[in-house]
Amino acid sequence: MIYLAHIVVMVAIYVVLAASLDLLVGQTGILSLAHAAFYGIGAYAVAVLTLRLGASFLTAFLAAMIVSAALSVLLSLPSLRLREDYFVMATLGFQLIASNVLGNWIDLTRGPLGIAGVPGPRILGWVVTSQWGFVALTLLVAGSAWTVAACISASPFGRVLRAIREDELVAEALGKDTIGSKIKVVAISAMLAAAAGGLYAYYVTYIDPSAFTITESILVLAMVIIGGAGSRLGSILGALLLVVTPELLRFFGFPDSIAANTRQFLFGSVLVLVIMIRPKGLVGRYGFGR
Amino acid sequence: MLTLRCQALSKSFGPIKALCDVTLDFPHSGITAIIGSNGAGKTTLINVLSGFLKADAGCCFVNGKDTTHFPPYRLVALGLARTFQDLRLIPSVSALENVMLACSRQSSEKIGPALLRLRLRRDEMRNRENAFRWLRFVGLEMAALNLASELSYGQQKLLVLASCLATEARIVLLDEPVTGIHPEMVFRLSELLRILAGQGRMIVFVEHDIASVRSLADHLIVMDSGRVVAQGQSEEVLKRPEVMEAYLG
């Protein structure tokens, strides 16, 4: 049961990541390779604030989201004025810089040694330490993040984002501040990714830079594409599929050393197959390479 | 009173001078047509006036305000909107949604109201009514729920006009509004433009179809090689020999 609870927690964390990335990829048509950077920024902000400053759950969690949003604005302001391809390159650069900073700013992050001993979050006097406590907490946050994404998608703001995705010139001609809208949605996406990072830091109690590399960004992107970009259900399906399927490999008796590589092979194969056979993903509305 | 003015506008693309020192004071009312041969600078002028292109030199003024460096969305907020030569709409959503996207003053386009769903239902009701009003105006009410991609080319031109009007623009710049559509549809569009001008909107359009220009335009601006070569009352300008020679052949 503990194992099952762990799977649920990880699926919930990835639902937050996938739903937040879908705001960019599926709703707005912006590809980002920096999602793991914001995930990591959230995790480190929570860990540092909790351990060094003794910040409460709410303070650390909100501060992590604000820091992540502020950094996302620094990324978006210069790069979103450029063509879409350049924004992808800018996010790639941001991801690499973030990985380097997390790995080398020893005073703050302890570099490759990582930060250990993040205490369980205290919420209204209740300290979450049990596996099922984390299940409840992560499901609550995942539900909230998913609802935020759904509310945005269903609102006139979501309509503007989809217009930007379809034809940015149309949105501009109809009086929409497309750059402002993109900056806002990137910030919201980064905030939610930071929330996922905060949850992760509280849950695993130990974080190091290897959990927030470009590979992680690609994994979340794969979840969005496989689940179906632009669909509310897609982020849940994608996260579920890519978290649960590798776990199933354990039951086929693969040793851990082989299972890790098999997992990468599996992700790659599923991604290629989905793009070839079902470019809109399992339940998606928005296909790539139209 | 609506005013649209540009002063000493210049714009080059490499060695090609698309606009050379263009100074214009558009008539406050009625319908103005901009004509000229291909490459005369008509669309470049519309692009600069609507904020889609930055001029190399010169200034633009809308209702007396210097809008030279305004992005398109700020110009739309000031009441100036435009359509494109190639039809620009969102083909994958309904005609109604295309027009709803254009509706102005949508408070739930802001993050806070969008997340808290404040006034969302009321706003959407108002947008819907507004969008239907413009679809009814252009005669597309019955096709409101059809995908934009399912409409005929002529209907798509009408839809683009409806979207443009839903921004509540008082100055409307149209790039080749009747090119390539059925004569019956040309007649319908012309009627609509006359009604809009009659309501006090400033209508400026770029067009190659000289018959439409003759029948529609009250004022004419003739461009050649990035310069304004003639302007004035439509009938009077069309009689000038240099216009006949440069444009009408």
Contacts of B165 in chain A (CB under 8 A): none
Radius of gyration from C-alpha coordinates of chain A: 18
- Chain-chain contact of B81 with A170 (C-beta, under 8 angstroms): no
As averages over each run of 10 residues, the pLDDT of chain A (290 residues) reads 90 97 94 95 96 92 96 90 80 95 93 91 85 93 95 92 93 93 96 97 95 93 90 91 83 72 76 80 65
Nearest Cα to Cα of residue B55 among B2, B8, B110: B8
Name chain A contacts of B71, Cβ cutoff 8 Å: 172, 177, 179
Contact across the interface for B101 and A151, Cβ inside 8 Å? no
Q: What span, in angstroms and rounded, lies between the C-alpha atoms of A175 and B100?
A: 12
pTM for the full predicted model: 0.90
Q: Which of B47, B20, B58 is nearest to B225 (CA)?
A: B20
Higher pLDDT, B100 or B238: B100
| pLDDT tens track for B95-141 | 999 999 999 777 767 788 778 777 788 888 999 999 999 999 999 99
Q: Which residues in chain B have Cβ-Cβ distances shorter than 8 Å to A19? A: none
Residue A209's pLDDT is 95
Task: Determine which of B43, B97, B115 to mutate to test the interface with A (most A C-beta atoms within 10 Å).
Answer: B115
Confirm or reject contact between A289 and chain B (CB < 8 A): no
**Exposed / middle / buried, residue B31 (Cβ in 10 Å: 0-12, 13-18, 19+):** buried
**B-interface mutation test, from A155, A165, A183, most B Cβ less than 10 A away:** A155
| Cα separation values, A175 from A27, A180, B87, B173, Å | 19, 12, 17, 14
Q: What is the pLDDT of residue B249?
A: 56
Mean pLDDT of B224-244: 88
The closest CB to that of A156, out of B76, B88, B114, belongs to B114
Kind of pairing, strands B4-13 and B16-25?
antiparallel
* B109 vs A: CB within 8 A: yes
- A170:B89 CB<8 A: yes
What number is the ipTM of this complex? 0.90
Pairs of CB atoms within 8 A across A/B:
93
Give the whole-angstrom CA distance, residue B45 versus residue B33: 12
Q: Do B72 and A162 count as a contact with CB atoms less than 8 A apart? A: no
Using the beta-carbon criterion (under 8 Å), do A151 and B115 form an inter-chain contact?
yes
Q: Do the Cβ atoms of A157 and B109 come within 8 Å? A: yes
| Distance (Å, whole) CA B153 – CA B81 | 21
User: Do the chains contact at B84 and A169, CB–CB below 8 Å?
Assistant: yes
pLDDT score recorded for residue A288? 58
B167 touches chain A (CB under 8 A): yes
Say what the pLDDT of residue A290 is: 45
Q: Report chain B residues whose CB lies below 8 A from the CB of A20.
A: none
Please count the residues of chain B. 249
Residue type, B214: R
Q: Which pLDDT belongs to residue B146?
A: 95
